Amino acid sequence: MQQKIVIVGAGGQLGRELARSAPEGVACLPLQRGELDIGDRQAVDGRLRQLAPAQVINAAAYTAVDRAESEPGLAWRINAEGAGYLAQACAEIGARLLHVSTDFVFDGEASHPYRPDAPTAPLGEYGRSKLAGEEAVLQALPGALVMRTAWVYSAFGGNFVKTMLRLMGEREELAVVDDQVGTPTWARGLAQALWAAAGRPQLGGIYHWTDAGVCSWYDFAVAISEEAQTTGLLQRPVTVRPIPASDYPTPARRPAYSVLDKRASWRDLGEAGSHWRHQLRAMLADLKELQNE
């Protein structure tokens, strides 16, 4: 018999990739925001009781990092309270919860990859609300699995890669921050890691997943320009100029270093992540194919 797994936030970058890559043996029930608002406790309770899934994957979040500084109430309602409602409802119906969190729970002061048990110290409202969500999930459902990730992009929705492609098509030169370092993560690879976790019900607690390797936003932009020309998504080269983050002020402070230590995930999920540049190439091919459909 197929195992019922509900995906909430199914319309986002990760949600779409999860729905596209559900493994055999899973009856995947993707719920977009219009079908389930995780900030509505009664709706969460009612829907999960009605569907009675074996597992729930939470890909829903308030992800507007800068806007969260001016509307923290909304960020907290979704990222902290909503995550808690899901965990409480899962506890009541005996379902497992896979919850997704962020590198922004860290302050970026480290100089080596953050282990899942490293001390947290978020710099902004988004990171604080996501950390509160992790805590609410693990308190209501201690067996839940929290997967932190970073720098997510995909062919769907808005993200750094698609913004760069648009700007690179419009401009001769772009300035991109080179003193913030992390790891880009194709949502497809993250979805596959979550499906691997869904197949290992004994796993719980905090895990980290990004693609492999390290780069700055500047390095990432240079790679996007080169790979997009090879794929045929960009017709001409563009100059990418490195600048410090201090030259590109944003409402929310971001960690300068947010590389995550993924060794426990690679061990427990039985697969290592692919290098971020390899994944970028695959995502651009996917984007091109979707554009041609």
Ligand X SMILES: NC(=O)c1ccc[n+]([C@@H]2O[C@H](COP(=O)([O-])OP(=O)(O)OC[C@H]3O[C@@H](n4cnc5c(N)ncnc54)[C@H](OP(=O)(O)O)[C@@H]3O)[C@@H](O)[C@H]2O)c1
- Rounded CA-CA distance 38/90 in Å is 13
Nearer to ligand X, 122 or 229 (CB): 122
Return the C-alpha torsion angle 287, 277, 183, 156, nearest 10.
0
Is 62 annotated as catalytic? no
Q: Based on CB atoms, which residue is closest to ligand X, 15 or 124?
A: 15
Report CA 45 to chain centroid distance, whole Å: 25
Q: Put the strands of the sheet holding 145-149 in their side by side order.
A: 26-31, 3-8, 55-58, 96-102, 145-149, 205-208
CB of 247 to ligand X, least distance (A): 22
Minimum distance from CB of 61 to ligand X (Å)?
3
Neighbours of 94 (CB within 10 A): 8
Residue nearest to ligand X (CB): 12
Min dist. Cβ of residue 102 to ligand X (A): 4
User: Phi and psi of 259, rounded to 5°?
Assistant: -75, 130
Q: 234 is written with which tokens?
A: 């960009």
Measured from the CB atom, the residue of 102 and 225 that comes closer to ligand X is 102
Taking the least distance from each CB to ligand X, the nearer of 18 and 238 is 18
Largest pairwise CA distance in the chain:
56
CB of 39 to ligand X, least distance (A): 4
* Cβ count within 10 A of residue 128: 21
* Residue 1 or 28 with smaller CB distance to ligand X: 28
Which is closer to ligand X, CB of 73 or CB of 232?
A: 73
Measured between alpha carbons, how far is 283 from 292 in angstroms, rounded to an integer? 14
For binding to ligand X (CB under 6 A), which residues are involved?
8-9, 11-15, 33, 36-39, 59-63, 78, 82, 100, 102-103, 130, 149-152, 157
Least distance from C-beta 113 to ligand X, angstroms? 15
E-state strands within the chain: 3-8, 26-31, 55-58, 96-102, 145-149, 152-153, 173-177, 181-182, 185-186, 205-208, 215-216, 239-243
In whole angstroms, what is the distance from residue 227 CA to residue 214 CA?
17
- β-bridge partners, 143: none
Which of 126, 153, 207, 257 is catalytic? The answer is 126
> Mind telling me the catalytic residues?
126
